[in-house]
C-alpha cells in the first residue's frame, strides 16, 4: 500500500496525537535540550509518521522510534518510510541506499 501524504492527520485522533507532540515540542523540549540521537528528531518523526500513515501505523512507527532512541543507541539518519524525510534522503547524493554517508574518494577515516 502506498503511503499517503495529504497534509491531514486522518481524523480527530491524529489531530490529538499531533497536538500532544506539538505540546511536547513547545513546553518540554526547550527545558530538556537536544537529546535525540536521530534525524529527524523523534518528535518530528512522530508528527511526520502520523501525517503520512495515520494515527494507527504512524503512532506505532513513532513508538518504535522513541524506544530505539536511548544512550546505548548509535542513532543516525532514520526517515519516515514513504514520507518527505525519506524522499529528501533519497535525493541526497552523499547518502547511500541505507541513508549512511558514502565514502568519499581520497578520504581515509
Least confident of 46-55, 74-83, 86-95: 86-95
Q: What percentage of the chain reaches a pLDDT higher than 70?
A: 85
Mean pLDDT for the chain?
85
45-78, pLDDT tens digit by residue? Answer: 999 999 999 999 999 999 999 999 888 888 888 9
Burial class (CB in 10 A: 0-12, 13-18, 19+), 11: exposed
At 52, which helix (H) or strand (E)? helix 42-68
Closest CA to 39 of 48, 27, 50, 30: 48
Query: What is the reported pLDDT for 2?
Result: 46
Query: Are the C-beta atoms of 81 and 64 separated by less than 8 Å?
Result: no
Closest CA to 21 of 41, 46, 38: 46
Amino acid at each position: 500500500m502506498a503511503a499517503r501524504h495529504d497534509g491531514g492527520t486522518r481524523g480527530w485522533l491524529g489531530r490529538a496525537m499531533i497536538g500532544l507532540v506539538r505540546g511536547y515540542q513547545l513546553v518540554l523540549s526547550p527545558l530538556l535540550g537536544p537529546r535525540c540521537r536521530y534525524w529527524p528528531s523523534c518528535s518530528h518523526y512522530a508528527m511526520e509518521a502520523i501525517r503520512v500513515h495515520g494515527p494507527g501505523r504512524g503512532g506505532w512507527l513513532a513508538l518504535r522510534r522513541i524506544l530505539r532512541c536511548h544512550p546505548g543507541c548509535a542513532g543516525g539518519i532514520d526517515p519516515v518510510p514513504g514520507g518527505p524525510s525519506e524522499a529528501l534522503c533519497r535525493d541526497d547524493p552523499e547518502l547511500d541506499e541505507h541513508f549512511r554517508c558514502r565514502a568519499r574518494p581520497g578520504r581515509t577515516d
